[in-house]
C-alpha cells in the first residue's frame, strides 16, 4: 500500500510539473507548490509569507496559483505583448502570436537566446557548448545591473508636493495631459510604444489584509503623461478603488511578472467573493489584452541615464550679461536638468539651471570658435577633479549655408524677448557670427554697450520673419517709446531705413508634435529656471506653444517651442525626484494682482524677468512697459501644419 501511495504521489507531482511548465511567457514557471521555492529564492526581492489556507481564491485541488498558468491555456507574445489563448499561438513553443512576431524576434537569435536565459528558460545543449563562458559573463553583468537598479530605486524617492495631486487635479477638472510621445527628450519619450487605455499591468494589491505584499492585475482607465489611473480587474464599472500611479514606477510590472518573481496574485478583499473561479475570470479578461513589454523597467532605467556628470566644465550664457558666456561647472544632474555653478563662485551660490539639451550651454572653446563674447575666468587653471565636457554631448544645430544670401547686420525681424518670454518683439540683427549664429537686439530697449544682445542660431524657432505676428494674429510688441501706433512694419522699415531679413532664411519646419490646446504638462519657468511648474498649453501657432502657468495671470505666460527641452510630461517631477511647483493659491494670485498694479520696475539685465511666487515667497519684480496680450479666437494657424506660415514682404 505504501509503495502504491508513493507511486501515485510521484505520478501526481510529475503531472503537475508537466502542466505547470508553461507560464505567461515561454520559460516562465508558474509559482506552484513544485516551483515556487526555487524561483522565489533567487529572483524574489523579499521573502513571501505563506498565504492563509482560508483564502477562497485562485485554488484548484488545494493548490494556490500565483497566476493562470499552462492549465488555463494562456500565453503572452514575447514580441508584441499580446495576451491570448495558448493553442492559438504560433509554433510549437507558443512564444509568439503570429509568424511576423516570430521572425522579428528571431532576427537577432543570439540576443533572443540570452534574453530567454535571463527569463529562466533552460539553455539548449548547443548553446551550452558554444556560449557557456559568454553567457556566464552576461548573467553576472545582468545580476550587477539588477542590483544597480534596486539601489537606484531605493535612493530615488518621489518628491511629494504638499496639498497637490496631479490625479485629483485632472479628475476634478476633466483635464487632458500631453502624451509622453510629445517629449522626445524626456525618459521613454522615443520608446513609449502602445501604452494606452486598456493596457493591463500587475500592481500591489492595497485592498488586502495579508501580512505579506501581494499583487493583482489592473487596467489603465486613463493616461495623463506618465501617470495612469488604474482599476483592479473585477471591479467592472466600480471606480471606488481607482488609484493613480506613475506607470514608470518600480511597483508597476507587465502581466506575467508575478509568475517569474514568485509573487502571489490575490484579488482585492472588496470583490474577493464575487467569483468562485478567479482563474477562469482572468483567462477571459486577459484574452486579447495588451501589457507592458517584458523589458519595460529596463528601458525606463536606460532612458534615465544621463551623459553629463558632476564636475564637468561647460560654457553657458552669463545671466547678468546675456551677450557673453562664462565657464560653469556641473554641480548636479536631476532628470537631465543641470545645476551649473559659475566657476568663479566661491560659495557655489551663483548658479544657473538648464537642461542638458539647452541651446544655452556649449563645450569649452565654443565662444572662441564662432566669435561670441566670453568672460574669462580669474581662475587660471582647472580645479582638481574638474574636466571639460566632451563636445559630442551637446545638442547639435543644423548646418547652414551662409555663402549665398544670408543675414546681415541691421536686418529687421521678430524675436521672442529673452527677458520677457511672453512677448514677441521688433528686433534687429546686431552681429553675424560663425556657424549660423546671430546676435539679436530688441529694438527700443537695448543697452548702449550691447550687453543685452542675445545669441540665436539662424535655425532657432524663437526668431521669425517680418510679418509673422500679423499673419498669425499675435500682438507684436513695438519698440519702447515708439509713438506711431498701431505699429506698421512697412512704415517702420522706411523710417529706420532698414530692410527685413529674407523669409527663406528662417526655419519653416513644423513637426507633427501632437500638442493640443488645453493639454496639461510640467514646464520650466524660464524666468526662474530652477522652477518646474504645473502648466497648460493655451495656444498653438505651428510649432510655437503658448504656455500658461496654472494659477498665475496671463502676463506670466511664455512662448516656447514644441521641441523645447524645458517641457515635460505630467509626472516627470515625481519620476525624476524634482520638486514640482503647484498652481498658485488664491492668496498668491491676489498678492500678485495688486503688486502688478502698484509696482513696476525697469527691465533687469539678468536672465530673469517676471518671477512667480514659490511656496515660500512672492517675487515682486515685474517688467516695465505696457501689457500686451495676443488676440483671442482660434485660426487655421493653430495646427501642426505649416500653411500660411509667413506673409509676403512688401517691396
Detail the DSSP E strand segments found in 236-320: 243-246, 253-254, 312-318
What is the band of 204 on the pLDDT scale with cuts at 50, 70, 90? very high
- The number of helix segments (H) and strand segments (E) in the chain equals 15, 29
Which pLDDT value is given to residue 95? 78
User: Which residue(s) pair with 101 in the sheet?
Assistant: none
Per-residue pLDDT for 538 more than 90?
yes
User: Which residue(s) pair with 537 in the sheet?
Assistant: 547
- Which of the two residues, 79 and 556, has the higher pLDDT score? 556
Q: Residue 311 and residue 389: Cα distance in Å, rounded?
A: 9
What is the band of 348 on the pLDDT scale with cuts at 50, 70, 90? confident
User: Which residue(s) pair with 463 in the sheet?
Assistant: 415
Which of 138-147, 155-164, 368-377, 621-630 shows the highest mean pLDDT? 368-377
Which of 94-98, 325-329, 617-621 shows the highest mean pLDDT? 325-329
User: Which residue(s) pair with 446 in the sheet?
Assistant: none
411-420, 508-517, 624-633: the lowest-pLDDT one: 624-633
Q: With b meaning 16 or more CB within 10 Å and e meaning fewer, what string describes 560-588?
A: bbbbbbbbbbbbbbbbbebebbbbbeeeb
- Which of the two residues, 367 and 132, has the higher pLDDT score? 367
Mean pLDDT of 237-255: 95
Q: Residue 371 and residue 548: Cα distance in Å, rounded?
A: 36
| Residue-wise pLDDT tens digits, 435-445 | 999 999 999 98
Q: Residue 214 and residue 263: Cα distance in Å, rounded?
A: 7
What is the band of 555 on the pLDDT scale with cuts at 50, 70, 90? very high
Contact 161, 137 (CB under 8 A): no
Neighbours of 141 (CB within 10 A): 10
Q: Residue 391 and residue 362: Cα distance in Å, rounded?
A: 8
Residues whose CB falls within 8 Å of the CB of residue 83, separated by 6 or more in sequence, listed in order: 24, 74, 75, 76, 77, 200, 255, 286, 287, 288, 289, 290, 291
Which pLDDT value is given to residue 376? 86
Q: Give the CA-trace dihedral at 339, 560, 460, 365, to 10 degrees.
A: -10
Contact 480, 625 (CB under 8 A): yes
Average per-residue pLDDT in the chain?
77
pTM: 0.73
Q: Percent of the chain scored above 90 by pLDDT?
A: 55
Detail the DSSP E strand segments found in 116-274: 176-177, 200-204, 215-224, 227-232, 243-246, 253-254
Amino acid at each position: 500500500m505504501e509503495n502504491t501511495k508513493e507511486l501515485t504521489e510521484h505520478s501526481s507531482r510529475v503531472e503537475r510539473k508537466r502542466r505547470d511548465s508553461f507560464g505567461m511567457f515561454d520559460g516562465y514557471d508558474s509559482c506552484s507548490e513544485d516551483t515556487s521555492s526555487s524561483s522565489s529564492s533567487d529572483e524574489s526581492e523579499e521573502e513571501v509569507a505563506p498565504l492563509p489556507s482560508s483564502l477562497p481564491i485562485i485554488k484548484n485541488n488545494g493548490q494556490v496559483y500565483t497566476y493562470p498558468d499552462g492549465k488555463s491555456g494562456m500565453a503572452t507574445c514575447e514580441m508584441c505583448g499580446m495576451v491570448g489563448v495558448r493553442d492559438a499561438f504560433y509554433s510549437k513553443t507558443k512564444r509568439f502570436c503570429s509568424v511576423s512576431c516570430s521572425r522579428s524576434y528571431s532576427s537577432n537569435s543570439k540576443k533572443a537566446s540570452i534574453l530567454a536565459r535571463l527569463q529562466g528558460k533552460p539553455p539548449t545543449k548547443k548553446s551550452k557548448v558554444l556560449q557557456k563562458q559568454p553567457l556566464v559573463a552576461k548573467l553576472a553583468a545582468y545580476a550587477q545591473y539588477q542590483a544597480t537598479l534596486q539601489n537606484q530605486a531605493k535612493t530615488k524617492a518621489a518628491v511629494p508636493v504638499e496639498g497637490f495631486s496631479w490625479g485629483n487635479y485632472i479628475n476634478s477638472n476633466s483635464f487632458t495631459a500631453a502624451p509622453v510621445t510629445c517629449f522626445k527628450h524626456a525618459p521613454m519619450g522615443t520608446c513609449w510604444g502602445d501604452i494606452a487605455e486598456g493596457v493591463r499591468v500587475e500592481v500591489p494589491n492595497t485592498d488586502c489584509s495579508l501580512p505579506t505584499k501581494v499583487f493583482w492585475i489592473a487596467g489603465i482607465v486613463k493616461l495623463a503623461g506618465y501617470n495612469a489611473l488604474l482599476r483592479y480587474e473585477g471591479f467592472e464599472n466600480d471606480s471606488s478603488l481607482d488609484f493613480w500611479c506613475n506607470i514608470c514606477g518600480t511597483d508597476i510590472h507587465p502581466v506575467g511578472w508575478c509568475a517569474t518573481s514568485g509573487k502571489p496574485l490575490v484579488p482585492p478583499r472588496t470583490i474577493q467573493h464575487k467569483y468562485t473561479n478567479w482563474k477562469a475570470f482572468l483567462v477571459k479578461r486577459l484574452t486579447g489584452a495588451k501589457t507592458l513589454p517584458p523589458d519595460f523597467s529596463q528601458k525606463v532605467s536606460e532612458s534615465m541615464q544621463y551623459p553629463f556628470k558632476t564636475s564637468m566644465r561647460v560654457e553657458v550664457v552669463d545671466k547678468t550679461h546675456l551677450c557673453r558666456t562664462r565657464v560653469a561647472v556641473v554641480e548636479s544632474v536631476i532628470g537631465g536638468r543641470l545645476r551649473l555653478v559659475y566657476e568663479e563662485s566661491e560659495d557655489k551660490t551663483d548658479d544657473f539651471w538648464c537642461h542638458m539639451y539647452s541651446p544655452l550651454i556649449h563645450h569649452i572653446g565654443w565662444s572662441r570658435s564662432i566669435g561670441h563674447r566670453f568672460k574669462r575666468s580669474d581662475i587660471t587653471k582647472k580645479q582638481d577633479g574638474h574636466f571639460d565636457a566632451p563636445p559630442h554631448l551637446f545638442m547639435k544645430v543644423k548646418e547652414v549655408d551662409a555663402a549665398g544670401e544670408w543675414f546681415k547686420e541691421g536686418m529687421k525681424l521678430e524675436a521672442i524677448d529673452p527677458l520677457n518670454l511672453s512677448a514677441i518683439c521688433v528686433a534687429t540683427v546686431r552681429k553675424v557670427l560663425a556657424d549660423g549664429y546671430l546676435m539679436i537686439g530688441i529694438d527700443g530697449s537695448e543697452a548702449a554697450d550691447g550687453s543685452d544682445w542675445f545669441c540665436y542660431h539662424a535655425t532657432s524657432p524663437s526668431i521669425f520673419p517680418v510679418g509673422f505676428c500679423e499673419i498669425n494674429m499675435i500682438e507684436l510688441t513695438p519698440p519702447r517709446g515708439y509713438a506711431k501706433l498701431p505699429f506698421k512694419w512697412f512704415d517702420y522699415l522706411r523710417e529706420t531705413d532698414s530692410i527685413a531679413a529674407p523669409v527663406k532664411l528662417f526655419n519653416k519646419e513644423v513637426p507633427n508634435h501632437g500638442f493640443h490646446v488645453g493639454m496639461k504638462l510640467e514646464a520650466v519657468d524660464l524666468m526662474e529656471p530652477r522652477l518646474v511648474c504645473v502648466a497648460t498649453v493655451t495656444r498653438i501657432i505651428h510649432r510655437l506653444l503658448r504656455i500658461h502657468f496654472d494659477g498665475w495671470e496671463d502676463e506670466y505666460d511664455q512662448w516656447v517651442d514644441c521641441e523645447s527641452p524645458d517641457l515635460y510630461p505630467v509626472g516627470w517631477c515625481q519620476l525624476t525626484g524634482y520638486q514640482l511647483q503647484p498652481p498658485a493659491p488664491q492668496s498668491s494670485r491676489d498678492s500678485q494682482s495688486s503688486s502688478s498694479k502698484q509696482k513696476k520696475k525697469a527691465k533687469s539685465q539678468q536672465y530673469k524677468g517676471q518671477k512667480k511666487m514659490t511656496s515660500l515667497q512672492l517675487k515682486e519684480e515685474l517688467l516695465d512697459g505696457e501689457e500686451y496680450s495676443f488676440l483671442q479666437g482660434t485660426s487655421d494657424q493653430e495646427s501642426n501644419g505649416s500653411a500660411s506660415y509667413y506673409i509676403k514682404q512688401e517691396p
